[in-house]
Structure 1
Amino acid sequence: MQITSRSGLRCALLATASAATLFTATGARAQDTAETTSEPQQQTTNDAAMREIIVTAQFRSQKLQDTPLSITAVDAALLEARNQTDLSQVAGQAPNVQLTEMGGAFGSSMAVYIRGIGQYDFNPAYEPGVGMYIDDVYYATLTGNIMDLLDLERVEILRGPQGTLTGRNSIGGAIKMFSVKPEPGSSGKVDVVYGARERIDLRASMNFALTDNLYARVAGVYKHQNGYVDQLDYGCVNPDNELGITGNPSTPANCVVDKLGERNYAGVRGSLRFNPTDSFDWIVTGDYTWENRTAAAGVITENNTDLTGADFRCGRFCTYASWYLPAGGQAGQAYYMPNSVKFWGWGVSSDMSVNLSDSINVKSITAYREYQQTYGTDDDYTPNPNIGGGGFNDLTFRFFSQELRVNAELGDFADLTVGGYYSDQKSVYFTRQDIRYIGMGNPALFLQFQGDDPVRADSKAVFGTVILHPTPNLNVTGGLRYTKEHKDYTFVRKAWDGGPLVDIFGVGALDGTVAVYDGDRIDYRISVDYRFSDEVLAYATVSTGFKGGGVTARPFTQSQAVNGTFDPETLTAYEVGVKTDLLGRTLRMNLSGFYNDYKNMQLPIADCAILDGFPPGEDPFPCAAISNAGDGEMYGVEFELQASPIYGLDIDATVSWIEGNWKRIGPMVGNNIRLEDPLTTPNWRGSFGIQYRGELGDNAGTITPRFDIAYTGKQGMGRLPGSSELDFNPARAIANARLTWRNADEDLAISFEVQNLFDKYYYLPIRFAALYASAGTTYSNVGRPREWAFTVQKKF
Structure 2
Amino acid sequence: MVKSVRYGLKEGLPGAVRLSDKKHMAGRGPMTTAVLFRDRQKICRMLMAASSVAALSLTGAAFAADEIVVTAQFREQSLQDTPIAITAVTGEEIETKALSDISDIAAAAPNVTISKAAASFNGVAAYIRGVGQYDPNFALEPGVGMYIDDIYHGVMVGSLFDLLDLDRVEILRGPQGTLAGKNSIGGAIKLFSRKPEGDNSGYISATYGSYDRIEVRGAYDVKITDNAFFRMSAFSKRRDGHVKRLDFRCDRPSEVLPSDTFPNQVTPDGCKIGTLGGVKSWGLRGALRLTPHEDLEVNIFASIVRDDSESPGLEQFAALDPRFLPNRDYTYYGTYTSIPGFSTEPLMTTHMESIGGQIDWEISDNLKITSITGYENIEAVSTVDLDGGPTGELLTYNTTPYHQVTQELRLNGEFGEGLVEWTLGGFYFDSLGNVAGRVYSFPALNWLQDDPVSNNSKSVFAHAILHPVSEMSLIGGIRYTDDKKTYMFSRINPDTGLPADVVGVLEGVGGTYTGDSVDYRVGLDYRFSDGLMAYAQFSTGYKGGGINPRPFIPTQVVPFSSEQVNAYEVGFKSDFADGAVRLNVAAFFNKYDDIILIDTNGYPGGPTDPGWFPLSAVPFNAGKADIKGVEAETTVEPAPGLTLQGSISYLDFEYKSLDPNATASGISSDFVSPFTPEWQWSVNASYEFALSSGATITPQFYAEYQSSIYTDAVNAPSNFIEGRTTANANIAFRTADEGWTAILGVTNIADKHYYTNAFDLLNINGTASKVVARPREFFIKVRKNF
Is TM > 0.5 for Structure 1 vs Structure 2? yes
Moved more, 522-531 or 446-455: 446-455
Counterpart-to-counterpart distance in 1, 2:191 and 2:603: 44
> Structure 1 residue aligned with 2:271, among 229, 242, 255?
255
Partners of 1:299 and 1:780 within 8 A in 2: yes
Please report the RMSD computed on the Cα atoms of aligned residues, expressed in angstroms: 2.5
Letter in 1 for 2:275: K
- Deviations along 1:409-462, one digit per CA (max 9) or x if unpaired, are 1122100011011111000111111111xx3xxxxxx32111111101111000
Counterpart-to-counterpart distance in 2, 1:599 and 1:521: 14
Counterpart-to-counterpart distance in 2, 1:525 and 1:114: 18
> Structure 1 residue aligned with 2:758, among 755, 767, 770?
767
> Structure 1 residue aligned with 2:685, among 651, 666, 690?
690
1:638 matched to which residue of 2? 631
Counterpart-to-counterpart distance in 2, 1:230 and 1:7: 44
2:17 matched to which residue of 1? none
2:133 matched to which residue of 1? 119
Q: 1:358 and 2:362 equivalent?
A: no
Moved more, 373-382 or 599-608: 599-608
Letter in 1 for 2:692: G
Match runs of 1:335-484 below 5 Å:
335-385=342-392, 388-410=393-415, 411-436=417-442, 439=443, 446-484=444-482
1:667 CA displacement: 2.1
> Structure 2 residue aligned with 1:661, among 654, 657, 664?
654
1:291 matched to which residue of 2? 307
> Structure 1 residue aligned with 2:318, among 302, 306, 312?
302
TM-score when normalising by structure 1: 0.89
Three-state SS of the structure 2 residue aligned to 1:540 is: strand
Counterpart-to-counterpart distance in 2, 1:617 and 1:9: 45
- Deviations along 1:134-167, one digit per CA (max 9) or x if unpaired, are 1100011111111111010000000000000025
Counterpart-to-counterpart distance in 2, 1:70 and 1:115: 11
Letter in 1 for 2:405: F
Structure 2 residue runs of 5 or longer lacking an equivalent are 1-27, 49-60
**Alpha-carbon spacing, 1:638–1:401, altered in 2? closer, same or farther (3 Å):** same
Structure 1 residue runs of 5 or longer lacking an equivalent are 20-45, 328-333, 440-445
- Deviations along 1:735-778, one digit per CA (max 9) or x if unpaired, are 010100011111101110001111111011x3222146644x32
Counterpart-to-counterpart distance in 1, 2:509 and 2:399: 21
1:162 matched to which residue of 2? 176
1:47 CA displacement: 7.5
Partners of 1:168 and 1:546 within 8 A in 2: no
1:10 CA displacement: 8.9
Three-state SS of the structure 2 residue aligned to 1:556 is: coil
Three-state SS of the structure 2 residue aligned to 1:310 is: helix
TM-score when normalising by structure 2: 0.90
Alignment coverage as a number of residue pairs: 738
**Alpha-carbon spacing, 1:698–1:619, altered in 2? closer, same or farther (3 Å):** closer
Three-state SS of the structure 1 residue aligned to 2:80 is: helix
1:714 matched to which residue of 2? 708
1:169 CA displacement: 4.7
Partners of 2:36 and 2:628 within 8 A in 1: no
- Deviations along 1:168-199, one digit per CA (max 9) or x if unpaired, are 55111000110000113210011110111111
Counterpart-to-counterpart distance in 2, 1:122 and 1:570: 20
Three-state SS of the structure 2 residue aligned to 1:595 is: strand
Partners of 1:130 and 1:169 within 8 A in 2: no
**Alpha-carbon spacing, 1:503–1:7, altered in 2? closer, same or farther (3 Å):** closer
1:467 CA displacement: 0.1
Moved more, 119-128 or 709-718: 709-718
Letter in 1 for 2:394: G
Three-state SS of the structure 2 residue aligned to 1:77 is: helix
Three-state SS of the structure 2 residue aligned to 1:197 is: coil
Three-state SS of the structure 1 residue aligned to 2:110 is: coil
Partners of 1:350 and 1:366 within 8 A in 2: yes
Partners of 2:741 and 2:782 within 8 A in 1: yes
1:600 matched to which residue of 2? 594
1:728 CA displacement: 3.9
1:678 CA displacement: 3.5
Counterpart-to-counterpart distance in 1, 2:467 and 2:44: 26
> Structure 2 residue aligned with 1:150, among 130, 149, 164?
164
1:382 CA displacement: 2.0
Counterpart-to-counterpart distance in 2, 1:552 and 1:655: 37
Three-state SS of the structure 1 residue aligned to 2:37 is: helix
2:209 matched to which residue of 1? 195
1:361 CA displacement: 0.7
Counterpart-to-counterpart distance in 2, 1:790 and 1:14: 41
Letter in 2 for 1:59: F
- Deviations along 1:565-604, one digit per CA (max 9) or x if unpaired, are 1111100000000100112211000000000000001112
1:536 matched to which residue of 2? 532
**Alpha-carbon spacing, 1:247–1:547, altered in 2? closer, same or farther (3 Å):** same
Partners of 1:607 and 1:619 within 8 A in 2: no
Counterpart-to-counterpart distance in 1, 2:333 and 2:718: 27
Partners of 1:190 and 1:795 within 8 A in 2: yes
Three-state SS of the structure 2 residue aligned to 1:668 is: helix
Letter in 2 for 1:277: H
**Alpha-carbon spacing, 1:326–1:522, altered in 2? closer, same or farther (3 Å):** same
Three-state SS of the structure 2 residue aligned to 1:326 is: coil
2:776 matched to which residue of 1? 786
1:74 matched to which residue of 2? 89
Counterpart-to-counterpart distance in 1, 2:336 and 2:634: 47
> Structure 1 residue aligned with 2:743, among 743, 747, 751?
751
Letter in 2 for 1:270: G
2:115 matched to which residue of 1? 100
Partners of 2:604 and 2:613 within 8 A in 1: no
**Alpha-carbon spacing, 1:7–1:82, altered in 2? closer, same or farther (3 Å):** closer
1:63 CA displacement: 0.2
Partners of 1:9 and 1:635 within 8 A in 2: no
> Structure 1 residue aligned with 2:727, among 735, 754, 775?
735
Three-state SS of the structure 1 residue aligned to 2:345 is: coil
1:649 CA displacement: 0.9
2:567 matched to which residue of 1? 573
Counterpart-to-counterpart distance in 2, 1:251 and 1:56: 55
Match runs of 1:222-237 below 5 Å:
222-237=236-251
1:730 CA displacement: 2.3
Three-state SS of the structure 1 residue aligned to 2:549 is: coil
Letter in 1 for 2:629: G
1:668 CA displacement: 1.6
Letter in 2 for 1:5: A
Partners of 2:435 and 2:452 within 8 A in 1: yes
- Deviations along 1:271-311, one digit per CA (max 9) or x if unpaired, are 011013320000000000001122110001235xxx41625
1:80 CA displacement: 1.5
* Greater RCO (Cα-Cα under 8 Å, separation 6 or more): 2
Counterpart-to-counterpart distance in 2, 1:590 and 1:57: 17
1:280 matched to which residue of 2? 296
Q: 1:323 and 2:355 equivalent?
A: no
Q: 1:6 and 2:23 equivalent?
A: no
Partners of 2:318 and 2:762 within 8 A in 1: no
**Alpha-carbon spacing, 1:309–1:188, altered in 2? closer, same or farther (3 Å):** closer
Three-state SS of the structure 2 residue aligned to 1:559 is: helix
Counterpart-to-counterpart distance in 1, 2:181 and 2:781: 40
- Deviations along 1:516-567, one digit per CA (max 9) or x if unpaired, are 0001000000010000000100000100111111110111222321xx1111
1:490 matched to which residue of 2? 488
Partners of 2:700 and 2:729 within 8 A in 1: yes
1:616 CA displacement: 3.1
Q: 1:588 and 2:582 equivalent?
A: yes
Counterpart-to-counterpart distance in 2, 1:505 and 1:757: 52
1:384 CA displacement: 2.6
Partners of 1:291 and 1:343 within 8 A in 2: yes
